[in-house]
Each structure stands twice: as structure tokens, then as C-alpha cells.
Amino acid sequence: MALLIDSGWLVLGLVALYFGAEWLVNGASKGAVKYGVSPLVVGLTVVAFGTSAPELFVSIGFNFGGSPDMAIGNVVGSNICNIALVMGVSAFICVLTVKSELLLRDLPVALVATIGFSWMLFNGNVGRIEGGILFGSVIAYTYYQLIIARKVKNPEVLEEFEEGLDLEDAECEPLWKLIFLVLAGLVVLYLGAEALKTGGVGLAKSFGVPEAVIALTLIAFSTSVPELATSVIASLRKEGDIIIGNVIGSCIFNILCVVGATAILKPLPVSQINPVDIWVMLGLTTILIPIMWSNRRVSRWEGGFLLVIYAVYCVNLWKTSGV
């Protein structure tokens, strides 16, 4: 019975996180456009930070709830899931093309961020100073993206942002409604994070495994479901560059924004995260370099290889936890 209740909390939390993030991003984006901010700027700032809101609220909730290892495990597991599962499934469906801009600009940032984060984890603590460095880096990275986006005139990209935001609809929306959406989104995100925390901790106790194992697998997979669904749809439409950009961008924001902001609010001690988990995250990020540089694509067999890595990692993690 307890297992069923905890699973219910987990599902309820995921649903709340989805709608909370949607309302927050929708209200903030339309509000910004309504008052003259360009769709491109909104897409690279408000939307980018907003899509990391579920992971951010979950990690902060775990940390303040006395489960810092689950906060760390959520980020480590999400990055492993993004690369091995999301990219693996997508490449298995359709060969993913890689843009040179991503290889030269975003992938090195993801690798450096992962190396720095791994070093902090091996030291056993992510303090406020480290958190400040990470969060400062995401602001610098976002600012750099804005500069590059403004210099490179790409009509297709601008059109994509404008279609996604619906400029006419944003102009017609009353201000009170947009403010309500933002506030409601924040409240629902908080409630969703609390529900996910309750379910996650309860499941860890029910299975008799460390909380970090639940965070590295179930919680990480759950918070990656939206990315997985979006990527599968994009792969069926043969939009491989969008998938890779989303995966790399998500990994960067998970480390710099989520861990950075969480550690600033309250330092993150690390005790249950196994060095193997850190090496898997670091290894998967590193292996993307030869995979993407070889033929500027991720082939089906490479996608299958990533899926095998994820399956072996999850099975081994649960076996070593005593389940």
C-alpha cells in the first residue's frame, strides 16, 4: 500500500511540475514580449531558464528537505539520462545531424561544466562559492548566446521563436492574467517538487536503497520524460539538430543553473553519490566529442551503443544497491 501511495505522489509531482513550468514560461514569455522584449531574447533567457525550473525546484526541495544527495543525484542522473537515453533513442529512430556551431561553442561548454562539477563532487561538497561560480557561468553563457544570436542573422531561427511565442496573442493578453500565470506556475512548481520529494524518499525507504539511487534513476528519468517525448517527436520529423541542441543545453543548465542556484541557497554535501556515477556522467559527456566529430552526426548504431550503456548502468546501479 505504501508503495502505491509513494508512486502516486511521484506521478502527481510530475504532472504538477509539467503544468507549473508551462504556466511560468508562458506567462513570463508573453509578458516580456508584450513590453517590447524581442522573441529571440525571450527564447534564449526566459524559456531557457524556465525549462530548467522543474529540476531546480526539485533539487532545492530535496536539499532543504535534508536529502542533498537526492538533489545531486537528480542532476547527475538527468545528464546521464539525457545523453544515453534521450539521445540514444532519438538516434536509433533517425540519424542525428550535428551543426558545427554546436561542436565549436556548446559542446566544449558542456564538457568544461561537467569536468568542473565532477571535481566538486569528488571533493565531497558543493559550497556557496562553487555554486556562485556555476551560476555566474550560466549567466555569462546566456549573455554570450545573446551576443552571438544578434550577430548571426538567421531568418529561420527568428521565425521559429516568433511562431513559438505567438506575438499577436501576447499583445492581446491582459497583464493580470500573465502575472497570475507566473505566480500560479511558481506555486504549482513548488507543490510538485514537494510531492516528488515525498514520493521519492518514500520509494527509497520502501525498496530499502539509498535515496541517491532513486534520484539517479526514477527521479532523473521522470524529470527527463518531457525531453524524451519532445526528442522522439523531433526525430520522427527528422529534426536531429534540434534534439542535440536540447540535450546539450539541458546538460549545461542542469549543472550551471540548477546546481549553482541550489548550492547558493544551501551548500550541498555529497555522501551517497558513488564515484562510478560521476565517472559515467563525465565519460558520456566526453564520448560525445569523437561521436559527433567523426561524421558530424550520431548514427543509429551509436544511438544503440548509448542505449546499451544506459541499460547496463541502471541494472548495475540497482544490483549494487542490494535490490
The string of pLDDT tens digits covering residues 247-281 is 888 889 899 999 999 999 999 998 878 899 999 99
Judge whether 220 and 64 are in contact, CB under 8 Å. Answer: no
Which of 59, 81, 64 minimizes the C-alpha distance to 193? 59
Which of 24, 30, 13, 21 minimizes the C-alpha distance to 227? 21
Which of 302, 321, 267 minimizes the C-alpha distance to 88? 302
Cα separation values, 200 from 7, 129, 138, 293, Å: 8, 29, 28, 38
Answer whether residue 44 shows pLDDT above 60: no
The terminus-to-terminus CA distance of the chain in angstroms comes to: 19
- 20-43: b or e for each residue (b if 16 or more CB lie within 10 Å)? bbbbbbbbbbbbbbbeeebbbbbb
Separation of alpha carbons 134 and 123, rounded Å: 16
- In the three-class reduction of DSSP (H, G, I as helix; E, B as strand; rest coil), residue 63 is classed as helix
- SS3 for 238-272, per residue? CCHHHHHHHHHHHHHHHHHHHHHHHHHHCCEECCC
pLDDT at site 27? 78
Q: Which amino acid is at 34?
A: K
pLDDT at site 283? 95
pLDDT at site 80? 94
pLDDT at site 197? 73
Judge whether 124 and 253 are in contact, CB under 8 Å. Answer: no
Q: Which residue has the higher pLDDT, 79 or 150?
A: 79
Answer whether residue 40 shows pLDDT above 80: no
Share of the chain above pLDDT 70, in %: 82
CATH fourth-level superfamily of 40-152+210-320: NCX, central ion-binding region (1.20.1420.30)
Domain spans in the chain, listed from the N-terminal domain onward: 40-152+210-320
pLDDT in tens, 158-203: 555 555 555 566 667 777 777 788 888 888 878 887 787 778 777 7
Q: Which residue has the higher pLDDT, 169 or 119?
A: 119
pLDDT in tens, 19-37: 877 787 777 777 766 666 6
pLDDT at site 18? 77
Answer whether residue 130 shows pLDDT above 80: yes
What's the mean pLDDT when you consider all of the chain? 80
Judge whether 246 and 87 are in contact, CB under 8 Å. Answer: no
Share of the chain above pLDDT 90, in %: 24
Q: Which helix (H) or strand (E) holds 96?
A: strand 96-97
Judge whether 157 and 40 are in contact, CB under 8 Å. Answer: yes
Separation of alpha carbons 33 and 240, rounded Å: 28
Q: Which helix (H) or strand (E) holds 125?
A: strand 125-126
Output the pTM of the full model: 0.82
pLDDT band for position 315 (cuts 50, 70, 90): confident
pLDDT at site 153? 55
What mean pLDDT comes out for the span 222-249?
73
pLDDT at site 134? 96
- 196-229: b or e for each residue (b if 16 or more CB lie within 10 Å)? bbbbbbbbbeebebbbbbbbbbbbbbbbbebbbe
pLDDT in tens, 92-101: 888 888 777 7
Which range (4-18, 233-247, 269-283, 305-319) has the least confidence? 233-247
pLDDT at site 323? 54
pLDDT at site 137? 95
pLDDT at site 75? 92
